[in-house]
Chains A and B, each alone.
Chain A
């Protein structure tokens, strides 16, 4: 090779995002100076994205085990036993950096990647959800990013036929130069037909299936492990291009080969492509892999081994089958018009060996590539703002709360998101029981009487102001959303979006968030089965707010025992489960009405929270509820407003409140552990009995009816608002930002 005598200097190492110490360690571990391809392999596998080198130490504290856990963190996705011989397979992943550079393809390939993570384990994907963060829509650049991201998600998910059933979208300045696209996927597998990334049996053939390899996406994983500066345009070639049609074929072909038990092990080629799949499969099985790059299907000419090994071309898989099954595997892939080529074999020498034009161009032990990247305990220090933003200045309280409602309903964080979700096919596969726009997505499991519920949640204002508390609340709120549809949580996947971990303040945020999450997951007794850490969400040195996003999967044992947030009919009694308290800090009311982002963040008592959720679930289970909706952003007033807006007939309500709190705090404060329910009058007594058993407070707030939202506080009318007016503001806010609605 020409590269013999390669000079490995600081510049070359910088280009590969490796430090000099890391390089020395690599030389030590492999016992030689790496050539350029080998260096490229390490740069990918030792990148933050693949190695979790800054986060690993902290993530260890998360609870990962439980009775129903079939697979915890470390595989392509987490797996939970859901009974009836079935398993739920789910995971969330970020695709933030690519989505900023090229919104459509960035988001589309994010969807493609997470789908492969699910079906590579033998599961058919049944639902997608997205957690999106953009800068304010008043800025045209943010509008164009959002349009691109939403159509990218739609373009991929709609075509492949997996419904995008829900998620969340938030807007904040901190995401203007660093939008977040976190994609969640849920699949269902037969419990005894789960597949892993294994390369077992020395001599077994290694097959390459799916799309051909091109030069796209080279160094995607390394890109995701560095901050952006002003070289954004130059990075565009690093973004992969998605082909949902190819992926649909790959999905069907893989599932067919799995159904016929023809595969020993399989791994998708996602981040770090052929490098990651081959070395991880070998490492997982204590074997080695030898491949010949001349056999790799290529769609460009003159590709070097470096490029082939590092390419992140989409819609590709690596699989291992026994010799006598190869022909049958190939027959299936041919039926689906896909390549399935034997490119190498499993070996017993624990090495990754790569041949190219008759020459051995890579020869390194597998273990250092996959397992021996150093883990860092990076310095951490509380940022200065934490203290200054923990106290609230005195406020000029507005007289007219109706005006406040006008403002909040139009604010993009509160406004209706139908403009987004109606671009997604959310019904294909005919399992979607609850349409998007409610607390949680609910999907029936065909041929059973059960349903799965999924909620995605994260409030980055809380986690910015008080990372640990904010993180606990994220877990609590996600579970509360599930409780509102009658589901109990089974497992958690998380996507942790942060700035540069080499900065002590960012590392501190991360540590606090993981600690809070760990405490909350333990309190609720739900295992974390996997997830993703996305660091370096910074552009020009400005970091996003710490944004942990939780994806929690829950179970509804009886499909008919669920409820929705909208009011159902006039004359129902409105009851609050939980209690109001004197907390207005960190609320969106403060942000939109007073221009303030300041704590204190609402406090959360995890045991009390659990009791409120249990009471709600029990009430749904006993068939007592007409509706249930959790109180979160915008407080009690906004929660009730949403119950009116989401009711089919725009049913209003009138309330009499007697709490000894300032009206604005009572209406818009975001005190935790509260759920608003409605029941028929004869069910009130039973609700109170359940509350007593669960030792939680409840209060009757008022009743449904009319076409107004009316609130009296200590006898004085503080809100008198037309539902129809609110509906128009709420519905039109986001579409009005775009030319074509």
Chain B
């Protein structure tokens, strides 16, 4: 398997994601510089967390114009696996590969903390090793993770079963309190209709080593590997 981690100016979880894929999960991994035009034959693209271009405008709004994004979009539209984490999720929204937008967190503050995610969908390349209803403990770190979209889109997301993760209590109950950033429908992660592009606000790369307090994030990377083996 070959993973490519995209580096925008201002990405700051690129090294973390690279480290986990390469050193912890032992996969061939390379950085993809945003000004390049080649995806170098990778099997899965990860758009990492951070503040691409400083996010002074809307998060991800400038990153979508990076030259490499043309290739990423084409790769996604042809069925290639793309995972957007945090800022990467925001970029996917701006690119139009996933629907909706991010508002500021409901308390208007940056939030860095562990949250609980309930797995809502199992038949995806990113969650095939998880069980429906399984609760994962993974940290978030963002200012704009308050997912928003119109009612029609929400209905469509539900009909198509595109909601992959929801913020929940440790026992899986969906409450307002667990929904720390105020997202519609407690949405923490979404997949496209075709099932090959996943965006999630929590950081699985921060929960991939026991030393750091949780290994629950590995299930996402391991699912991808499992999926790629079968393709």
A: which residues have CB within 8 A of B? 151, 154-155, 158-161, 243-246, 248-249, 335-337, 421-430, 432-433, 435, 444, 446, 559, 740-741
Contacts and interface: CB of A to CB of B under 8 A. Distances in A.
B104 to A, nearest CB: 11
B13 interface: yes
Nearest to B35: A335
Given A430-B209, A433-B212, A559-B211, A248 B16 contact: no
B94 interface: no
Contacts, number: 87
Interface string B68-84: 00000000000000000
B195 to A, nearest CB: 29
Contacts of A249: 9-10
A158 B16 contact: no
A444 B213 CA distance: 13
B177 to A, nearest CB: 12
A159 B54 contact: yes
Interface string B30-62: 000001000000000000011101111000000
Contact of B54 (A244, A424, A430, A432): A244
Interface stretch (B109-117, B159-167, B183-191): B109-117
B15 to A, nearest CB: 7
B208 to A, nearest CB: 8
B139 interface: yes
B111 A430 contact: no
Main secondary structure of the interface of B (DSSP, over half): mixed
Nearest to B111: A422
Interface string B198-219: 0000010110010111000000
Contact of A430 (B107, B112, B212): B212
A322 to B, nearest CB: 27
Given A425-B110, A430-B206, A430-B209, 16 more contacts: A151-B109, A158-B110, A161-B51, A245-B53, A245-B56, A249-B10, A336-B9, A421-B112, A422-B109, A425-B112, A425-B141, A427-B206, A428-B141, A430-B19, A444-B211, A559-B211
A740 B51 contact: no
Given A245-B51, A422-B111, A430 B20 contact: yes
B9 A337 contact: yes
Contact of B109 (A425, A429, A740): A740
Nearest to A436: B112
Contacts of B12: 159-161, 248, 428
A427 B109 contact: no
A623 B52 CA distance: 44
Chain B interface residue bracket vs A: 20 to 34
Nearest to B16: A430
B231 interface: no
A432 B212 contact: yes
Nearest to A447: B23
Nearest to B9: A249
Given A158-B141, A428-B16, A423 B109 contact: yes
A337 B35 CA distance: 11
A428 B10 CA distance: 13
A337 B20 CA distance: 28
A686 to B, nearest CB: 26
B112 A426 contact: yes
A682 B211 CA distance: 26
Nearest to A124: B15
Interface of B: 9-10, 12-13, 15-16, 19-20, 35, 49-51, 53-56, 107-113, 139, 141, 143, 203, 205-206, 209, 211-213
Given A428-B12, A428-B16, A559-B211, A423 B50 contact: no
A430 B22 CA distance: 14
Contacts of A336: 9
Nearest to B180: A422
5 contacts: A154-B110, A155-B110, A159-B51, A249-B10, A422-B109
Contact of A428 (B13, B107, B113): B13
A337 B12 CA distance: 17
Nearest to B212: A430
A248 B10 contact: yes
B112 A422 contact: yes
> 4 closest Cβ contacts across the A-B interface?
A161-B12, A245-B54, A159-B51, A425-B141
Contacts of B107: 740-741
B211 A243 contact: no
A659 to B, nearest CB: 38
A245 B206 contact: no
Contacts of B206: 427-428, 430
B145 to A, nearest CB: 13
Nearest to B108: A740
A415 B192 CA distance: 44
Contacts of B19: 430, 446
B205 A159 contact: no
Contacts of A444: 211
Contacts of A427: 112, 139, 141, 203, 206, 212
A366 B171 CA distance: 68
Nearest to B52: A245
A246 B56 CA distance: 12
B203 to A, nearest CB: 8
A272 B19 CA distance: 39
Among A248, A559, A741, which residue has the most Cβ atoms of chain B within 10 A? Answer: A248
Contact of A422 (B10, B113, B203): B113
B181 to A, nearest CB: 12
Contacts of B13: 161, 428
A518 B203 CA distance: 44
A430 B56 CA distance: 25
B138 to A, nearest CB: 11
B10 A159 contact: yes
Contacts of B16: 428-430
Contacts of B203: 427
A429 B111 CA distance: 17
A155 B143 CA distance: 10
B51 A424 contact: no
A367 B15 CA distance: 43
Contacts of A155: 110
A243 B54 contact: yes
Contacts of B55: 159, 245
Contacts of B53: 245
B87 to A, nearest CB: 10
A430 B112 CA distance: 13
A152 to B, nearest CB: 12
Nearest to A155: B110
Contacts of A423: 109-112
A7 to B, nearest CB: 45
Nearest to B107: A740
B212 A244 contact: no
Contacts of B35: 335
Contacts of A335: 35
